[in-house]
């Protein structure tokens, strides 16, 4: 979407993505105002100074209807709830509401790979960027992964491709955005507190493919029935990854077999994941998705294999913390929904003592009864959702509720024996007790290591 010089643009939310949006609009000659719910003393002084220097008016301490006066378009940040009264007022006035993806639509000069799904997005996005660099390409990697997607336009000549992790929040207001290669990894209930229903959540994810054209590629995970059933346009190339025989990137005995993107004389390429950090059942799927995506940009098998071998997964995703008296402790704090929790348990072969709970996202925890009953020997719950989860699961597994992560780690150790696995896979958001999943994972690891030192000292 091209921005007209002098456009009166109202940006709501001054987080990282919101500030990036303001910079993007100012650089294109728009007249920008911004509204943030924080007080002036809570906004970074350097940000306030930059806004003043560039003539951007700032409303702070909340959003008012007066903020919209004279606006021609409203751009909320991806984390801004779409039911805010100020956005409802904008709709009533007939103002267009654009997201950052809508602003970026049609503006990228290079091929775009975009990744969405309920679980695994950050790992796959990071891995794709890593594989592209191993093939001597210069990717911009951003979106929901940390760097705002509009930051690309500050220095577009630095990059020859773009890799974007996209959340359902971003796709809600995607406009006519279309990726050259779009990946839908999986679909399971998440963020129902925002979207209201699973259908609305899934519908947001499927907008990834809505504007693709002939020559574009859609990649879907067939091990997930909902992702596999996602419709794509008939003129778009459709490729799949998973364990099925017909998959374009198939997982067989711990390796990825790539059946597309190779010269016919070469046959299929094979990538052994055994020597890599991607050998778990969940990461095998992530690797297959990434391999299939970078093959669309012409990466050679040798470069892909080299990249797979050197990749380090992001933290708090099935990360080994320690082994204490034969009990392994695993940090999967990034498992913030029930689909991620189910996937984590599905990859565990040892008996599991599970630590779960946090802030509820509107999930139906009864959907976990089968996998918890099969994999978990003891369940330790904490956080706001503990009561709801206990009611859903205590008939299939011995369950207790605790008040802190320190207590959770100690109770989990008490329930475990040598050969067991203590798994932190909360299935919930972290914001009831922590600043984010990363802090939750760090506190878990700190408590595990403290317990280990105590056991060593006490002999």
The verdict on residue 62 lying in a domain is: yes
Q: Which domain holds residue 82?
A: 8-98
CATH code for position 13? 3.40.50.720
Residue 33 pairs in a beta bridge with 10, 57
Residue ending a domain, among 98, 122, 145, is 98
CA angle 206, 209, 214 (to 5 degrees): 160
- Which pLDDT tens digits describe the chain residue by residue (459 residues)? 789 999 999 999 999 999 999 999 999 999 999 999 999 999 999 999 999 999 999 999 999 989 999 999 999 998 888 889 999 999 999 999 999 999 999 999 999 999 999 888 999 999 999 999 999 999 999 999 989 999 999 999 999 999 999 998 999 999 999 999 999 999 876 666 666 788 888 889 999 999 999 999 999 999 999 999 999 999 999 999 999 999 999 999 999 999 886 544 445 799 999 999 998 888 999 999 999 999 999 999 999 999 999 999 888 988 889 999 999 999 999 999 998 899 899 888 899 999 999 999 888 999 999 999 999 999 999 999 999 999 999 999 999 999 999 999 999 999 999 999 999 999 999 999 999 999 999 999 999 999 999 988 876
**145 lies in the same domain as 228:** yes
**337 lies in the same domain as 387:** yes
- Distance, in Å, from the CA atom of 77 to the CA atom of 79, rounded to the nearest integer, reads 6
**84 lies in the same domain as 169:** no
The verdict on residue 2 lying in a domain is: no
**290 lies in the same domain as 141:** yes
Judged by DSSP in three states, 240 sits in strand
Q: What is the model's pLDDT at position 422?
A: 98
**143 lies in the same domain as 290:** yes
| 216 contact partners, CB below 8 Å, separation of at least 6 | 178, 179, 180, 181, 182, 236, 237
The verdict on residue 408 lying in a domain is: yes
**31 lies in the same domain as 154:** no
Residue ending a domain, among 284, 309, 334, is 309
- Distance, in Å, from the CA atom of 101 to the CA atom of 94, rounded to the nearest integer, reads 20
CATH code for position 118? 3.40.1190.10
**366 lies in the same domain as 423:** yes
Give 248's Cβ-side CA count (13 Å radius): 21
Using alpha carbons, list the distances in angstroms from residue 216 to 212, 233, 319: 6, 10, 35
**193 lies in the same domain as 269:** yes
Q: What is the model's pLDDT at position 264?
A: 42
Output DSSP code: residue 118.
Answer: S
Nearest to 360 by CA among 326, 383, 327, 377: 383
- Distance, in Å, from the CA atom of 150 to the CA atom of 103, rounded to the nearest integer, reads 8
**83 lies in the same domain as 127:** no
**218 lies in the same domain as 344:** no
| 453 contact partners, CB below 8 Å, separation of at least 6 | none
pTM score: 0.84
Q: What is the model's pLDDT at position 402?
A: 98
Nearest to 186 by CA among 285, 256, 290: 285
Q: What is the model's pLDDT at position 7?
A: 96
The verdict on residue 3 lying in a domain is: no
Residue ending a domain, among 257, 285, 309, is 309
DSSP-based helix, strand, coil % in the chain, nearest 5: 40, 20, 40
Q: What is the model's pLDDT at position 391?
A: 97
The verdict on residue 279 lying in a domain is: yes
The verdict on residue 165 lying in a domain is: yes
Number of domains, the chain:
3
CA angle 288, 289, 293 (to 5 degrees): 115
> What residue has token string 């050679």?
300
């Amino acid at each position: 979407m091209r921005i007209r010089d002098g456009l009166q643009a109202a940006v709501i939310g001054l987080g990282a993505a919101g500030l990036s949006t303001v910079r993007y609009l100012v650089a294109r000659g728009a007249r920008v105002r911004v509204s943030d719910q924080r007080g002036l003393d809570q906004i970074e002084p350097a940000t306030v100074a930059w806004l003043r220097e560039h003539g951007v008016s700032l409303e702070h301490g909340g959003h008012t209807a007066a903020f919209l006066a004279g606006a021609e378009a409203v751009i909320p940040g991806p984390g801004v709830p779409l039911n805010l009264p100020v956005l409802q007022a904008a709709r009533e006035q007939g103002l267009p509401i654009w997201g950052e993806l809508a602003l970026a639509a049609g503006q990228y000069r290079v091929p775009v790979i975009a990744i969405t799904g309920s679980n695994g997005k950050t790992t796959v996005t990071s891995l794709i960027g890593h594989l592209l660099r191993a093939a001597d390409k210069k990717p911009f990697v951003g979106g929901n992964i940390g760097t705002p997607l509009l930051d690309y336009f500050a220095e577009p000549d630095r990059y020859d491709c773009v890799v974007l992790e996209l959340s359902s929040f971003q796709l809600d207001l995607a406009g006519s955005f279309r990726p050259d290669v779009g990946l839908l990894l999986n679909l399971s209930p998440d963020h129902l507190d925002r979207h209201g229903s699973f259908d609305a959540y899934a519908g947001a994810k499927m907008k990834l493919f809505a504007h693709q054209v002939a020559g574009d590629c859609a990649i879907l995970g067939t091990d997930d029935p909902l992702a596999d059933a996602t419709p794509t346009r008939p003129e778009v190339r459709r490729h799949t990854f998973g364990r099925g025989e017909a998959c374009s990137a198939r997982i067989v005995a711990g390796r990825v077999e790539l059946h597309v993107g190779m010269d016919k004389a070469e046959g299929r390429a094979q990538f052994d994941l055994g020597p890599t950090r991607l050998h778990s059942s969940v990461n095998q799927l992530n690797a297959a998705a990434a391999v299939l995506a970078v093959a669309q940009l012409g990466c050679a098998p040798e470069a892909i294999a080299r990249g797979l071998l050197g990749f380090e997964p992001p933290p708090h995703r099935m990360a080994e913390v320690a082994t204490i008296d034969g009990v392994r402790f695993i940090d999967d704090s990034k498992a913030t929904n029930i689909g991620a929790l189910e996937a984590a348990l599905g990859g565990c072969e040892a008996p599991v003592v599970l630590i779960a709970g946090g802030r509820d996202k509107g999930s139906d925890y009864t959907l976990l009864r089968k996998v918890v009953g099969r994999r978990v020997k003891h369940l330790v719950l904490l956080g706001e959702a503990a009561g709801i989860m206990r009611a859903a699961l205590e008939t299939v597994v011995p369950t207790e509720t605790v008040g802190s992560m320190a207590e959770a780690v100690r109770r989990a150790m008490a329930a475990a024996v040598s050969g067991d696995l203590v798994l932190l896979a909360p299935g919930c958001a972290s914001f009831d007790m922590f600043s984010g999943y990363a802090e939750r994972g760090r506190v878990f690891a700190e408590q595990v290591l403290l317990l280990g030192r105590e056991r060593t000292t006490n002999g």
